[in-house]
A and B are shown apart, each in its own frame.
Chain A
Amino acid sequence: MSTDRVGASPNRVGGVGRVTGAQRYAADIKLADALQVKLVCLPVARGRIVSIDSSAALAVPGVRFVMTAADLPQPVPRFGPQFTDRPVMAVGETKYHGEPVAAVAAETKDAAEEGARLVRVDYEALRPIVTLADALAPGADLVQDASIRPRDPLAGTNVLREHRFGWGDVDATPADLVVENSYTFPIVTHFAIEPHVFMAAPDGDGIAVWSSIQHPYWLQRILAGVLDLPLSRVRVFAPDPGGGFGGKQHAKYEPLVAFLALLTGRPCRLVLSLEQTFQAVRRTCTEVHVRTGLMSDGTLAFVDVKADYNIGAYADIADRVVGKGSYPAAGPYRVPAVRIVSRSVLSHTTPATAMRGFGNPQVNWAVESNLDEGARALGIDRRDIRLRNVARTGDTLNPVDTRCDGEWDQAVRRAAEMIGWDTPAPPGHGRGIALGFKSGPTTGLSQSTVRLLSDGSALVYAGTSDMGQGARTVWAQIVATELGVPLERITTVSGDTAVVPYDQQTSASRSTVLMGNAVLRACQDVQAKVRAMAARLHGVPEEQITVERGIVRLPDREVAIVDVVKPGLGRMAGEIVGNGMARKDAEPDHPLQGSAAFFEFNCTAVEATVDEETGDITLHKYATVSDVGKAINPLQVRMQDEGAAIQGLGHTLMEHYIYDDEGRIRNLGAIDYRIPTSMDLPLELHSDVIENADGPGPYGAKGMSEGALISAAAAVAGAVRDATGIVIRDLPLSPERVWRALQERSAR
Chain B
Amino acid sequence: MHTFAYARPATLAEAVALLAEHGAAARVLAGGTDLIIRLRDGTLVPDVVIDLKRIASLRPGVREEAGLVVIGATTVMTDVAADPLVRRHFPALADAAAVVGSVQIRNRATLGGNICNASPAADTAPPLLVYDATVVAEGPGGTRRIAVDDFFVRSGVTTLAGDEIVTAIELPLPALRMGAAHERRTRRRGHDLASVTLCCGVREDGVTRLSYGSVGPRPVLRVDETGILADPAAPAEARTNILEQLLADASPSPRSMRASPAYRLAMLRVLGRRALATALERLEARA
Contacts and interface: CB of A to CB of B under 8 A. Distances in A.
Interface in A92-129: 110, 113
B143 interface: no
Interface in B166-210: 185, 187-193
Nearest to A615: B263
B188 A736 contact: no
A142 to B, nearest CB: 31
Interface stretch (B63-71, B213-221, B254-262): B254-262
B190 A676 contact: yes
Given A110-B1, A110-B3, A658-B257, A739 B190 contact: no
Contact of B188 (A654, A658, A740): A654
B270 interface: yes
A614 B257 contact: no
A: interface residue count bin = 20 to 34
A680 B189 CA distance: 5
Given A110-B3, A614-B267, A739-B266, A667 B188 contact: no
Interface residues of B, number: 19
Contacts of A654: 187-188
A102 B187 CA distance: 37
A7 interface: no
Contact of B187 (A110, A666, A734, A740): A734
A674 B187 contact: yes
Nearest to B269: A613
A297 interface: no
Interface in A714-746: 734-736, 739-740
A674 B270 contact: no
Interface string A345-367: 00000000000000000000000
Nearest to B267: A614
A676 B188 contact: yes
Contacts, number: 42
Nearest to A616: B189
A684 B192 CA distance: 23
A679 B189 contact: yes
A735 B3 CA distance: 42
A672 interface: yes
A679 B187 CA distance: 12
Interface string A592-630: 000000000000000000000110000000000000000
B185 A674 contact: no
A449 B155 CA distance: 62
Nearest to B3: A110
A310 B8 CA distance: 52
Interface in B229-269: 257-260, 263, 266-267
Interface string A411-450: 0000000000000000000000000000000000000000
A707 B80 CA distance: 45
Given A613-B270, A614-B267, A672 B258 contact: yes
Interface string A664-676: 0011000110101
Contacts of B258: 672
A674 B257 CA distance: 12
Given A614-B267, A614-B270, A658-B257, A735 B190 contact: no
A732 B260 CA distance: 15
A677 B188 CA distance: 8
Given A679-B190, A735-B187, A667 B266 contact: no
Contacts of B270: 613-614
Given A613-B270, A614-B270, A672-B257, A678 B190 contact: yes
A658 B1 CA distance: 27
Contacts of A613: 270
A675 to B, nearest CB: 8
A651 to B, nearest CB: 13
Interface in A207-255: none
A680 B188 contact: yes
A680 B191 CA distance: 10
Contacts of A734: 187
Nearest to A275: B41
A626 B270 CA distance: 40
Interface string A631-670: 0000000000000000000000110001000000011000
A736 B1 contact: no
Contacts of B185: 614
B263 A666 contact: no
Nearest to A737: B263
Contacts of A680: 188-190
B196 to A, nearest CB: 10
B189 A677 contact: yes
Contact of A739 (B2, B191, B263): B263
Nearest to B255: A666
Interface in B1-52: 1-3
Contacts of A110: 1-3
Contacts of B259: 736
Given A614-B267, A658-B257, A674 B1 contact: no
A293 B258 CA distance: 40
B84 to A, nearest CB: 26
B61 to A, nearest CB: 30
A676 B266 CA distance: 24
B3 A674 contact: no
Contacts of B3: 110
A610 to B, nearest CB: 14
A416 to B, nearest CB: 27
Contacts of A740: 263
A708 B266 CA distance: 35
A674 B188 CA distance: 8
A63 to B, nearest CB: 15
Contacts of A677: 188-191
A402 B188 CA distance: 41
Contact of A674 (B192, B260, B267): B192
Given A613-B270, A614-B270, A736 B260 contact: yes
Interface in A328-354: none
Contacts of A667: 257
Contacts of B190: 676-680
Contacts of B260: 736
Contact of B257 (A666, A676, A678, A735): A666
Which of A672, A676, A677, A736 has most chain B Cβ within 10 Å? A736
Nearest to B256: A672
A113 B258 CA distance: 30
Interface in B51-88: none
A672 B258 CA distance: 7
Contacts of B267: 614
A205 B193 CA distance: 53
A672 B190 CA distance: 13
Nearest to A677: B190
A670 to B, nearest CB: 10
A658 B256 CA distance: 11
B193 A671 contact: yes
A736 B262 CA distance: 10
Nearest to A113: B1
Nearest to A732: B187
Nearest to A736: B263
Contacts of B188: 653-654, 674, 676-677, 679-680
A676 B192 CA distance: 11
A704 B32 CA distance: 43
A674 B189 CA distance: 10
Nearest to B189: A679
B109 to A, nearest CB: 15
Contacts of A671: 193
Given A113-B1, A734-B187, 9 more contacts: A110-B3, A614-B267, A614-B270, A654-B188, A666-B257, A671-B193, A674-B188, A735-B187, A736-B263
Closest 5 CB pairs of A and B: A677-B190, A679-B190, A679-B189, A736-B263, A613-B270
8 contacts: A113-B1, A613-B270, A653-B188, A658-B257, A666-B257, A680-B189, A739-B266, A740-B263
Interface of A: 110, 113, 613-614, 653-654, 658, 666-667, 671-672, 674, 676-680, 734-736, 739-740
